[in-house]
Amino acid sequence: MHIAVTLLSYSLLLPLAAGVSTTITNSWDGGFEAEACVPVTQELNGWTLSLTFDEDVWWVEVWIGDATKISNREYTITSDMHQSPGDQICFDIVGQGDGDIRPTGTVTIVGGPSKAGSGSQKNYADALAKSILFYDTQRSGRLPADNPIPWRGDSNVDDCVPGGWHDAGDHVKFGLPLSSAATLLGWSLVQFKDGYEKAGQLDQMYDMIKWIYDYFLRAWNPGKQELCVQVGDGYKDHAYWGRPEDMNMDRPCKFVNETTPGADIVGGTAAALAAGSIGFRAKDSAYADRLLNAAMNLYSFAKGHRGVFSGGAPFYFSSGDADEMCEGAMWLYKATGDQSYLIDAKGFVDLGVAWGLGWDDKKIACQSLLYEATREDQYKQAVEGFFNSWFPGGGITYTPCGLAWRDKWGSNRFAGNSAFMALLAAEMGLQPSTYRKWAVEQINYLLGDNSHDGGCFSYEIGYGSKFPRNPHHRAASCPDRPAPCTDDQLYAWGSSPHVLNGALVGGPDENDKYKDERADYIQNEVAIDYNAGFHGALAGIVHLKAVGKMPVTNNKCPC
């Protein structure tokens, strides 16, 4: 980082708290490395640190903000990041001086308190906790004694493969969105585990995601080389409006095997399980081994039996399998370090600009994983090209209040997924300030920084005081037993009897217009893949707050 020389006197700035000392972590002839963590005692909307040394330091390099040289012993570091009381501003320093230099440094916050940006008003930890509850609500099968959703009970216990998650407001278990959602959720646990810890939700996250991993393990039969990729008939299921607990229709199973291709779903499932093996490694190594072994077997099978699964059409049908194969290879590379997987992924990757991240298209995920592993410029350019296309001026539509609006089907889903990818890219060192600010602003929009219903309207159900009351979700619309639940509930007036906590609805149109109507399965649909990236972004934002890297936001319609 270039150090500007200025005549600014930092002595004109008043310290907000006592200074802390830097700690030398490494030194050599002519240079040193140090670290520091400064506790925050006041709400800060941007800050300035004073960094002083007891001997001459010619220049310093930091990555948390902009460093300005006052003299050989005095520097300031400035940032527009928001901080709350209880946070810490932690950073590394690289400095240069004469000889085997090991200076003692003192860091003091000298930036004054100011009104917090819109991001400071969001309780991201609460939003994350509620998103976990949504996935618990989607559980199929025999529920555990500690089921946190009192209005849900055992359902479809006689499925050929019991367990798993219902797809959306319906009750089919589709392999493409299941594997896609599980991969993103697992990625968030691997990357932002501290976010779950800080939110007090780590145990809940492990419990929630293990439900789908267990289902995948049951769905894969290594002896038969067969994976169950769908349970339920989409047409019959969608014609039924009622509780999953009351279903008595046939629920046929569909399989991928040596005669029925489906490398898209099999490769995606391998990715999910490989990510899960990393996430569970420190918690339960034996379980992590089970996940990894299944992931390797699935990937090997998919590699030898390429092609997409057509049996999920017209509900879910993939446009190709190379992106899922790349994801599977990269997660196995991360889990094992085996170079053969990295070589495979390089063969599968498409370096074109991705349209968006969703259950069908994992292109940007593959590119990001490859950049993280290799730091090669071709992958960096692909990732940055994606965000350039998503940022203002890049061709995507923005609503008046600032939502990056990709499509009427799950507009919130695509924004949440891209926000998650932006936070991951920032962790890899790609334009951290820009990417983090944009990502948090997208999540802020979803949590209330919009104009609907006079503003402060959360598109995540149960968050805040204003949120959707009529999601397109059968179970939530049904009154308590023994009252019947029929098509009448689809069009019933008034709020759903049960609050579908944590569900992210489809979202507004390109003009910020939204109708809270249960029968509107475009704007008011909920789904496991709608929540996945949004969920991961929430964990990422809690992580940013925990490590003192929360950006200042500037939403167009702040709550």
Three-state secondary structure call for residue 76? strand
Residues present in the chain in total: 559
Strand-strand pairing, 74-83 and 66-71: antiparallel
Catalytic annotation, pick one of 167, 327, 427, 525: 525
Q: Would residue 245 show up in a list of annotated catalytic residues for this protein?
A: no
d(CA 516, CA 523): 8
d(CA 435, CA 376): 19
Please give the backbone phi and psi of residue 510, each rounded to the nearest 5 degrees, phi first: -70, -5
Phi-psi region of 182 (alpha: psi -120 to 50; beta: other; left: phi over 0): alpha
Buried-exposed string 399-436: b where 16+ CB fall within 10 A, e elsewhere: bebbbbbbbeebbbbbbbbbbbbbbbbbbbebebbebb
d(CA 455, CA 118): 13
The distance from CA 157 to its chain's CA centroid, rounded to whole angstroms, is 30
262 Cβ neighbours under 8 A, 6+ residues apart: 175, 227, 229, 256, 305, 307, 308, 309, 311
Name beta bridge partners: 34.
24, 93
Are 435 and 425 contacting, i.e. CB atoms less than 8 angstroms apart?
Answer: yes
What DSSP assignment string belongs to 21-59? E-EEEEEEEEEEEEEEEEE--S-EEEEEEEEEESS--SE
According to DSSP, residue 453 is labeled G
Structure tokens, 489: 């509930």
Q: Would residue 525 show up in a list of annotated catalytic residues for this protein?
A: yes
10 Cβ neighbours under 8 A, 6+ residues apart: 48, 50, 70, 74, 76, 110
d(CA 338, CA 343): 9
Catalytic annotation, pick one of 197, 516, 517, 520: 516
| Positions marked catalytic | 516, 525
